[in-house]
Amino acid sequence: MRLVYKLQNNIKILIYTSSLDAVFTGKPLVDIDEDQPYPEHHPNMYCESKALSEKAVTAANQQTLKTCVLRPSDVYGEGDPYHIDSLINMAKTGFYVRLGNGTSKCQHVYVGNMAYAHVLAAKNILEGNSSVTGKTYFITDGPGHNFFSFFDQIVERSGYRFWPKNLWLPRWLAFSIGSLSEFIAFILRPIKHYNPKFSRFAVVYTCTDFTFSSDRARKDFGFEPKYSFEDSMDRTVKHYKARI
């Protein structure tokens, strides 16, 4: 077990990078805080694994090992392996589609600000701030945005064009397509194993309100974004522009 390994090697501090998925239920969660309980049933094994990891890390907090859990919202920035590349690839095909109706909101955080939150949490623990140890914190650096509207501005500013300009698939239709995509992957599994990017979970995740703040991190260890929203966007766009 990794935690045993850390104890055996006399590691004093463990800042665990978790995910907002640890408490994701598939239902709207609006302006929640860290008191939000874990769901009785998670939407998938990834979400459940994050919750189990958080519990293990928190339970390991003791005199010889100080722990802290950080839950980033959707991380974006240079080299984003999950969101931006997929959207740019879709724009390159000449057919750009969004899911839902554009009203759902979720949280984001720039990768540099997320890294800075780790530094601040570790610094506070090293300096003896006992209010941080054994705690869990949401980390975000701005208000909620619609998933697609947020990333659209990065894709467009990076030099890519949308067509159709404003096509949104209704949630029910997108969910049906996601179900079909998963069914095809299941049928093909004996021949080729792959995880479909268009899934029911992806639809629910991008079409469901999930908002919170970093107020507790600000109060306990002084988290404030190191990079402004404008600077974060400029850095991200510069990276993707250079790849055209």
Beta pairing partners, 14: 67
Structure tokens at 55: 């519990």
Instruction: In whole angstroms, give the CA distance from residue 138 to residue 144.
Output: 13
Structure tokens at 51: 């919750």
Are 136 and 215 within 8 A, CB to CB? no
Instruction: In whole angstroms, give the CA distance from residue 36 to residue 13.
Output: 25
User: For the packed helices 147-157 and 84-92, what is the interaxial angle rounded to 10 degrees?
Assistant: 60
Whether the ω angle into residue 37 lies within 30 degrees of 0, i.e. cis, is no
Tell me the residue length of the chain. 244
Beta pairing partners, 29: 210
Amino acid identity, residue 126?
A: L
Give the active site residues.
46
Instruction: In whole angstroms, give the CA distance from residue 101 to residue 168.
Output: 6
- Secondary structure of residue 186 in the 3-state scheme: helix
Positive or negative: CA dihedral 162, 237, 18, 70: negative
